[in-house]
Structure 1
């Protein structure tokens, strides 16, 4: 699966350097022995770094998904976050669109964003979202960093309500210091 995800990422960002990163701390390697992360370097100034998990979809859980996040700066914490989400999905399952995950720490150092909203990859569309594999389709889902207040809002009003609110406020998802929209 790792090679297939790398091909998918390289095909979506041709000519952009992609680093193959590992996370060997914690239990992710027990649940997903071949877990890796593709770090897509900026394709142009102002563009994000993109981190894509490689291995979550090989777990025997449904749905078959991989996860990605975008960041303004490279940071090993992004690799750790993807390892955490992939492990959670592999061991407990159910990480799908609309789920809110508590990271238990800031997304980036000093940030108030400590949760992820699992969403569809609006910035990249269906060509990035769906990937074929011999075992069936794999869906790539976006991890949007959100605040505690936004997580509570999603619990009360539904994740679509939160997505609408984030869109209305034209949130910069790369800004680790962004204020809550709630």
Structure 2
């Protein structure tokens, strides 16, 4: 399997889960070009079943990576700045340190201007479940599709002290509004 076919399989996995309508977005600033010609960020518009926008990476991990990871984020409105956020995380994953489940990433700025959510937590795709979470390719290679959930600095500190499971329990108990970039911290 070559990189083009690998990326085609990733795209088919997303479209099977979120529908055939999507846009391919780029971000001309920053480290986008470092990620190679096959890297993309897709934008899926809201549907009758899903009343939010989805932004997802293709090619964040390479065909030969031991642990293949792709990430997605959700937004209540169309927001191309999430492209930049995903590019920064993909660049760090490729050229900094490999990321995985429950890792956090510091964007160095809020999810949106003045948003207290300046970190991302790599979480399971709870809204889509196992159908989206893992793609098994023909060569028995698996690709994990995780949710990059914007969180606050206080929530990161809580996670470090009490663990990611406890943080996610609080999110569930208190009804995390994951579409609100200006939400209050829940810890």
Tell me if TM exceeds 0.5: yes
The question of whether the paired residues in 2 share the 8 Å contact of 1:32 and 1:58 is answered with no
Match of 2:158, SS? helix
- Equivalent of 1:98 in 102, 106, 122: 102
Counterpart among 10, 18, 23 of residue 22 in structure 2:
18
- Equivalent residue number for residue 177 of structure 2: 172
Q: 1:88 aligns with which of 74, 89, 92?
A: 92
Distance 1:46 1:52, change over 3 A: closer
Q: Is the 8 A contact 2:117 2:150 kept in 1?
A: yes
Note if 1:35 corresponds to 2:35. Answer: no
Q: 1:7 and 2:12 equivalent?
A: yes
Who is 1:162 aligned against?
A: 167
Task: Give the CA deviation at 1:127.
Answer: 0.6
Rounded Cα–Cα distance in structure 2 between residues aligned with 1:107 and 1:21: 18
Give 1:46 deviation, angstroms.
6.8
What residue number does 1:67 align with?
71
Query: Contact (CA 8 Å) 2:26, 2:32: kept in 1 or not?
Result: no
Q: 1:46 to 1:14 in 2, by over 3 A?
A: closer
Greater displacement, 144-153 / 1-10: 1-10
Determine the C-alpha separation between the residues in 1 that align with 2:63 and 2:19: 28
How far apart, in 1, do the equivalents of 2:179 and 2:129 lie?
A: 18
**Partner SS, residue 124 of structure 1:** coil
Aligned length: 181
Q: Does 1:116 align with 2:120?
A: yes
**After alignment, is 104-113 or 42-51 more displaced?**
42-51
Structure 2 gap ranges (5+)? 1-5
Query: Root-mean-square deviation (CA), in Å?
Result: 1.8
Change (3 A) 1:42 1:100: same
**Alpha-carbon distance, 1:5 to partner:** 1.9
- Structure 1 stretches of 4+ with a deviation exceeding 3 A read 59-62
Give the C-alpha shift of residue 27 in structure 1: 2.1
Whether the 8 Å CA contact 1:100–1:115 is kept in 2: the answer is yes
Report how far residue 55 of structure 1 moved.
0.8
Distance in structure 2 (CA, Å) of the matches to 1:63 and 1:117: 18
Shift of 1:60: 5.3
Alpha-carbon distance in structure 1 between the residues aligned to 2:36 and 2:154: 32
